A and B are shown apart, each in its own frame.
Chain A
Amino acid sequence: MKRRYLVLLCFLIAATVNAQEKKRSGSDKKRKSAAYNKKAKEDDKFLEKQWWLGFKAGPNLSKVSVDKTYAVVSPTNYDASSIGKTYKNFSLMGSQATLEVSFYFKGFLISFQPTYQRSRFEYSNQFNWMDTIPEHNVTLNYHQEQKLSYAVLPLLVKYDFLHGRLRPYVQLGIYSALLLDATTIVTVSGVDQASGGANEFKNEPIIVGSKDLFAKSHWGLLGGVGLNYNLGNNVRLNFDVSYKYGMSNISSTKNRYSSDRLSGVGDAMDDLTLDNVAVTLGCLFPLRFLSSGFKTLDKK
């Protein structure tokens, strides 16, 4: 693979150098005074376009928004809202790794950033049973954690504000996320006061593969800000903060109750959209060079 990359680099360099040489040989040697200005113009023209390849990774936090709520337990003598799910947003850390391929043209970049994203979110609900004797009651707390793995395919437009060594940018785009895997962890705990005293307990977590309960894909909008820092050796350090705003339901509407184990526990997925804020750190390499010294002229 390294060899192929080297061959590709050599080809790009050779093609670029050849193009430059052709331009130079074709110029008028008699007008030496204008040569410097012309070279500067060519350099500027060269810098108008660039391909970048990079890798970045970092943590993420997720938030879900409920479009429609679903429940297995249907109360007959109390309000359903009292056993409703309470979502805790941006509470569980996930992670992601991204391969970035960008094309730069006059301050703008078109960027494709395939990402492996692991998101986590959690919710809980509570059930109470009471007797006429106040001490006789049982409380059960259900805590559900969802772990989702996605292949995210974002297409972004970036704009560099500055053209110096430090290049802040903003970015905007759309993404499609393909579900790779999903796991649900249900933990039941509670207090049983019906046995003559407060008996607190916590059961072993129930871990269930739940890929069928989620939509195979969803999509959304993506925006963010970032910073590139040119190290001077053609390598840019990249710091990026992005927010993915889910536009479609991540739950499977057809398979909501298909897991007999989770339905048996009393869990049913709501219709949800998933938002995700990610912070990544990485580096970018140029793919287009001016000379055999791998000089991109982008040395500011």
Chain B
Amino acid sequence: MLKKYYSLLLFVLGVSLLSGCSEKSNPSFDQQNFASIFDNSKFDASYFPIDMRETPDGGYIVLGGRRLSENSDFAGIYLLKADQYGKFVKEIEVPASTGVYPVGKLMEYQTKYYFFCMDAQTLQAQIANVDALLEAVSVTPVQGDLTYPAAASFANNNFILLSYNNNDKLSVISVLNTDGGILKSKGYDIGVGSDDEIITEKYVIEHYLRTGRQWPFEAGVMANGVYYFNGFYNYTFSLVFTDAASDDPSNVAQGQSDKGGLSGVSYLGANKFALSRFSYGNNYFLPGKDIPGGDPASSDFGGFTLPELVPDAPVKILQAKTDTKNALVYASNTKSKQIGLYFYEQETGTFISSRYLGFSNPYEISSLIQTSDGGLAVCGTTYLAGRFPRICIFKISKDELNGQLSK
């Protein structure tokens, strides 16, 4: 009789042990890691992401552009909300009458997410904002004559905007408050002469029409209050430093016409930047570079060469922190049509490891952020069936990021 009980007990213990060791569903895993492609079944639908932010509910807002129609000049504004698991929640296709040509960054201020766009008729720059739940988009015209917004960032409760003045052929850097009031603004000549027509009409305008190369425009401010922008200046695509008031820039990291310049700029502090540069189709990463004075040429900056990247590749740079390491994550497009992630130590600039996202269909980088759980979220464009441009998000967990940085 006792033996029977022992047998039963052993059976129950065995089942309990097996059950205890089995794979359990864990919603936090679904949040830490996912891959999502947001598909629309319309044959002629076309979406491309510009920037992404994590929302307080753990979800994500993606600022993107969309194809309006065959004959439209500029891309329309597209906003997408995904939940913390990367699943589609909501989208807004902002009417062209409200605004066109969305420009990153997508900037968080108080409870709103701000970005710049353009009036389709007047080409006037506008400040747009949306809430975290994507309930409504509000657009406010900039209080001044700023056209063709190119890049923006947010610092000290002000916007720093790089725009283009097509009448005077100027790259314009401006400081605006959140109501659109211009606090500072200064334009710098992109260059005149025989190349003038080519630079202005071909390079700049085709960028806005998305019929040509997408230039890596950037704008920001350093800790010492000096503003910088990566844009056209004096014939070349250059990194320009200015107080946004003086007639001449305080320093310029010069490019080489449209053939050389900086493809990625991320300010690290003091006089230090994490940079990437392009030069005649080649790509170089410079994790940690002090910009010397005296108008240096970016072609002299050196850097690690990346032959696996597409010619003149777009590069996004992120400062990522783990429990033990400060890292720089470079993201770019590879010739194998994947998104390549390259991890460097921030202090030393030493390469740590790399990872490649996407397969089979082409994938292109748009934005990457570090999430509140310590992981990474990478936003890009994929071409479903090899042709339909759709927004995708890859979420990499903190553990995986730590693993990447421990290699």
Contacts and interface: CB of A to CB of B under 8 A. Distances in A.
Given A76-B38, A76-B88, A261 B359 contact: yes
B298 to A, nearest CB: 32
Given A130-B42, A219-B19, A263 B35 contact: yes
B37 interface: yes
A213 to B, nearest CB: 11
Interface string A190-232: 1010100000000000100000000101110000000000000
5 contacts: A76-B91, A174-B15, A176-B18, A248-B23, A271-B25
B29 A249 contact: no
A236 interface: no
Contacts of A219: 18-19, 21-22
- Interface size on B, as a range, is 35 or more
Contacts of B24: 249, 253
B40 to A, nearest CB: 5
Contacts of A257: 33-35, 394-395
Nearest to B26: A253
A73 B360 contact: no
A268 interface: yes
A258 B86 CA distance: 15
B43 A253 contact: no
Interface string B351-364: 00001111111010
Contacts of B400: 258
A74 B26 contact: no
Given A129-B42, A129-B388, A130-B43, A265 B359 contact: yes
Interface string A247-269: 11111111111101111111010
Contacts of B236: none
Contacts of A250: 23
Given A74-B36, A219-B22, 7 more contacts: A74-B86, A140-B384, A140-B385, A247-B18, A254-B26, A260-B355, A265-B359
A279 B8 CA distance: 29
A276 to B, nearest CB: 16
Contact of A218 (B11, B23, B30, B36): B23
A117 B184 CA distance: 72
Give 6 closest A-B pairs by Cβ, nearest first: A264-B359, A248-B22, A131-B43, A215-B23, A219-B18, A263-B35
A75 B18 contact: no
Interface string A81-109: 00000000000000000000000000000
Interface in A126-180: 127-131, 136-138, 140, 155, 174, 176
A138 B43 contact: yes
B42 A265 contact: no
Contact of B88 (A75, A129, A251): A75
A256 B88 CA distance: 19
A264 B36 contact: no
B400 to A, nearest CB: 8
Given A129-B43, A260-B358, A74 B33 contact: no
B44 interface: yes
A68 interface: yes
A66 interface: no
A267 to B, nearest CB: 9
A297 interface: no
A74 B38 contact: yes
Given A129-B385, A253-B24, A264-B338, A73 B358 contact: no
A67 interface: yes
A89 to B, nearest CB: 21
A14 B154 CA distance: 90
A138 B385 contact: yes
Contacts of A136: 43
Contacts of B338: 260, 264
Contacts of B395: 257
Interface in A252-300: 252-258, 260-266, 268, 271
A25 interface: no
Nearest to B359: A264
A131 B40 CA distance: 11
B321 interface: no
A235 interface: no
Interface in B349-407: 355-361, 363, 382, 384-385, 387-388, 394-395, 400
A127 B384 contact: yes
B360 A188 contact: yes
B25 A72 contact: no
Given A74-B82, A74-B88, A188-B360, A258 B39 contact: no
Given A206-B360, A256-B33, A247 B41 contact: no
B394 A131 contact: no
A29 to B, nearest CB: 37
Contacts of B30: 70, 253, 256
Given A76-B40, A129-B43, A254 B19 contact: no
A37 interface: no
Contacts of B384: 73, 127, 129, 140
Contacts of A252: 23
Contacts of A33: none
B23 A249 contact: yes
B80 interface: yes
Given A215-B23, A252-B23, A77 B357 contact: no
Contacts of B80: 76
Contacts of B272: none
Contact of A130 (B29, B41, B82): B41
B87 interface: yes
A265 B357 CA distance: 11
A249 to B, nearest CB: 4
Contacts of B41: 75, 77-78, 128-130
Interface in B2-29: 11, 14-15, 18-19, 21-26, 29
A260 B38 contact: no
Nearest to B43: A131
A73 B181 CA distance: 42
